[in-house]
């Protein structure tokens, strides 16, 4: 903690880094052009260096004042980093790591040599039509033509759909640049994982769903929506494996494609804090910035502190048409609850420039989506409405899984579904027969928790094994609805459900009472979700009111008139 950290670059990433450093009294010196650049605004000690982070003398001066030198942008001069490193300055991550990552094709080659899945790539010998033709024969069309260096936020990428695009692609990316072609990835989602490499561990933050617009990150959702626990774990593993290929310490942003068939490819890696990790400031016990400092300074770091506390959505504040458009955006965001605003102190806005971001955290993703919706609409206010714009009705994470042994049970289950709708509790309904589809029943029950389900309602009649078998495959609370069979009064169903052996509990409801099953699910969810608990209290009040009203009418009309008027109708 007594070491001094020197940083090349002083933009928003440096600013957020120093916000974490200030809490620990870690001294940070910045080298960048502005006297009051975003990062320098928030740490005042008179020792910053004004100058270009590409200027060798300035970097050497920074190195002299610092115990560890790190970067907040990868487009630095790695020859100078190599020199200062050889003169004894601790450079993190390693200068070779930064040099490799600067060249996107070299980055991919290194990853592939370590068995990390990436899109197939072919370097172009020259920026010429014949060479591009050769690449297109190897990879097929469409393909993505990319600059190997100095490319970010979509700059340096050109989608080549047909041969007719060859010329404009080469014209746009420039003939003096090293180019490479990448096989087109038909991805259904983009994911990102922030990885921390310490002196002896490789740890990862949660998997993030990233939404890009015009090749710039617009939104991130954590946890990633509609991604199974298996894919989530594969993404974490792939990201850690990718970062383990590189030398040195610090945080790395790993961007990935999730293809239609659920396979994952690494797209690219940033050797520094990353836009897709901003959410960690509010949503995790330790942020990506604090994790970077802990990693490069060999301070303790726990995997548990990188876990999510609450679902989080991050929305970038991009510059608009006016120079204070970001301030107007922040004024809008101030009107929303559970919204943390981060402005970067960049002065006047320029169109499309990252001027800040907001992070919404809430007990459920669905609540966070509701809160952020007006701010997404504000961000999109000047945009032509497009069919493929971010959907205004957000996708909801199901919390209750309803299962039944047969479709004949559905009419019994329906009143319960109506209650779940009334409480706005998202649910799934499936037929998973314990006797006719035992394997599917087992798979559905055992994967429920990993898919974000909090509680299972199971309806079955007669031998009624479903609730108990589901309970055998999950640690989630299972609520059983005994369904009255065609023969008998349903006592068989009830006893099959309620008389579970010691060790595997099922909550039995009365025969055919799916209403109570759904209400019981609401009580369970209400334990951890204040909004649902509040609705439940309201439901109890309403129900009390209804009975009191009936009582009033009964007293007013007398028993006979009441029975005729109200009960006859039934």
CA dihedral 276, 277, 282, 285 (to 10 degrees): 150
Instruction: Give the whole-angstrom CA distance, residue 319 versus residue 17.
Output: 22
At closest approach, how far in Å is the CB of 360 from a second copy? 9
Closer to a second copy by CB, 269 or 284: give it: 284
At closest approach, how far in Å is the CB of 215 from a second copy? 27
Closer to a second copy by CB, 23 or 463: give it: 23
Closer to a second copy by CB, 47 or 52: give it: 47
R_g over Cα of the chain:
29
Closer to a second copy by CB, 45 or 436: give it: 45
Tokens, residue 96: 């070779």
DSSP letter assigned to residue 88: T
Closer to a second copy by CB, 225 or 454: give it: 454
At closest approach, how far in Å is the CB of 482 from a second copy? 9
Q: H helices within 69-128, ranges in order?
A: 78-86, 95-102, 104-113
Closer to a second copy by CB, 20 or 59: give it: 20
Instruction: Give the whole-angstrom CA distance, residue 149 versus residue 132.
Output: 18
At closest approach, how far in Å is the CB of 239 from a second copy? 22
CB-CB neighbours of 63 under 10 Å: 24
At closest approach, how far in Å is the CB of 551 from a second copy? 15
Instruction: Give the whole-angstrom CA distance, residue 515 versus residue 521.
Output: 10
Closer to a second copy by CB, 441 or 517: give it: 517
Closer to a second copy by CB, 154 or 411: give it: 411
At closest approach, how far in Å is the CB of 225 from a second copy? 20
Q: What is the DSSP string of 297-347?
A: TT----GGGGS-SS-EEEEEEE--SSTTHHHHHHHHHHTSTTEEEEE----
At closest approach, how far in Å is the CB of 503 from a second copy? 5
Closer to a second copy by CB, 476 or 554: give it: 476
Cβ distance 297 to 3 under 8 Å? yes
Burial class from Cβ neighbours inside 10 Å (0-12, 13-18, 19+) for residue 213 reads middle
Q: How far is the first Cα of the chain from the last one, in angstroms, to the nearest whole number?
A: 76
Residues 6 or more apart whose Cβ sits within 8 Å of residue 328: 320, 322
Beta strand 121-123 pairing with 312-318:
unpaired
At closest approach, how far in Å is the CB of 15 from a second copy? 8
At closest approach, how far in Å is the CB of 525 from a second copy? 7
DSSP letter assigned to residue 48: -
Cα 517 off chain centre by:
32
Q: What is the DSSP string of 497-517?
A: HH-PPTT---EE--TT-HHHH
At closest approach, how far in Å is the CB of 255 from a second copy? 26
Query: Residue 451 belongs to what H/E stretch?
Result: none
At closest approach, how far in Å is the CB of 50 from a second copy? 13
Instruction: Give the whole-angstrom CA distance, residue 56 versus residue 53.
Output: 8
Closer to a second copy by CB, 270 or 343: give it: 343
Cβ distance 298 to 199 under 8 Å? yes
Cβ distance 59 to 80 under 8 Å? yes
Instruction: Give the whole-angstrom CA distance, residue 141 versus residue 297.
Output: 47
Closer to a second copy by CB, 389 or 547: give it: 547
């Amino acid at each position: 903690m007594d070491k001094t950290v020197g940083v090349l670059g002083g933009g928003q990433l440096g600013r957020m880094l120093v916000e974490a450093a200030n809490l620990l009294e870690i001294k940070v010196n910045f080298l960048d052009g502005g006297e009051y650049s975003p990062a320098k605004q928030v740490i005042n000690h008179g020792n910053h260096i004004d100058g270009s982070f590409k200027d060798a003398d300035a970097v050497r001066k920074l190195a002299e004042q610092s115990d560890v030198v790190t970067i907040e942008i990868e487009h630095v001069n790695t020859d100078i980093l190599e020199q200062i490193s050889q003169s004894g300055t601790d450079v993190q991550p390693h200068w070779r790591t930064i040099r490799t990552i600067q060249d996107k094709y070299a980055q991919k080659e290194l990853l592939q040599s370590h068995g990390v899945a990436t899109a197939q790539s072919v370097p172009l010998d020259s920026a010429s039509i014949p060479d591009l033709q050769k690449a297109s024969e190897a990879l097929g069309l469409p393909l993505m033509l990319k600059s190997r260096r100095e490319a970010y936020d979509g700059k340096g990428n050109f989608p080549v759909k047909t041969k007719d695009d060859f010329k404009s692609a080469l014209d746009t990316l420039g003939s003096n640049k090293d180019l490479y072609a990448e096989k087109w990835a038909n991805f259904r989602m983009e994911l990102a994982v922030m990885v921390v490499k310490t002196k002896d561990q490789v740890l990862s933050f949660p998997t993030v769903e990233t939404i890009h617009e015009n090749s710039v990150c617009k939104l991130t959702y954590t946890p990633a929506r509609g991604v199974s626990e298996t894919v989530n774990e594969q993404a974490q593993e792939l990201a850690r494996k990718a970062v383990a290929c590189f030398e040195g310490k610090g945080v790395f942003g790993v961007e990935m494609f999730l293809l239609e068939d659920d396979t994952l490819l690494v797209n690219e890696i940033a050797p520094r804090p990353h836009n897709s990790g901003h959410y960690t400031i509010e949503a995790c016990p330790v942020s990506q910035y604090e994790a970077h400092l802990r990693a490069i300074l060999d301070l303790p770091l726990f995997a548990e502190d990188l876990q999510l506390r609450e679902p989080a959505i991050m929305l970038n504040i991009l510059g608009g048409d006016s120079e204070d458009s970001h301030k107007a955006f922040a004024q809008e965001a101030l009107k929303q609850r559970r919204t943390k605003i981060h402005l970067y102190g960049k002065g006047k806005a320029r169109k499309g420039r990252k001027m800040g971001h907001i992070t919404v955290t809430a007990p459920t993703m669905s609540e966070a989506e509701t809160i952020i919706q007006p701010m997404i609409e504000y961000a999109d206010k000047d945009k032509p409405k497009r069919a493929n714009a971010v959907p205004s009705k957000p996708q909801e994470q199901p919390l209750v899984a309803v299962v039944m042994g047969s479709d004949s049970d559905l009419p019994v289950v329906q009143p319960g579904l109506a209650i779940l709708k009334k409480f706005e509790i998202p649910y799934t309904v499936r037929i998973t027969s314990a006797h006719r589809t035992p394997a599917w029943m087992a798979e559905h029950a055992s994967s429920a928790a990993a898919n974000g389900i909090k509680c299972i309602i199971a309806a079955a009649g007669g031998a009624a094994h479903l609730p108990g078998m589901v309970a055998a495959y999950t640690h989630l609370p299972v609520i059983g609805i005994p369904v009255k069979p065609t023969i008998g009064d349903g006592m068989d169903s009830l006893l099959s459900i309620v008389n579970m052996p010691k060790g595997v509990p099922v909550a039995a409801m009365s025969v055919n009472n799916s209403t109570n099953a759904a209400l019981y699910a609401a009580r369970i969810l209400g334990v951890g979700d204040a909004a649902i608990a509040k609705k439940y209290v309201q439901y109890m009040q309403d129900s009390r009111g209804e009975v009191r009203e009936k009582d009033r009418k009964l007293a007013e009309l007398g028993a006979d008139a009441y029975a005729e008027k109200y009960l006859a109708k039934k």
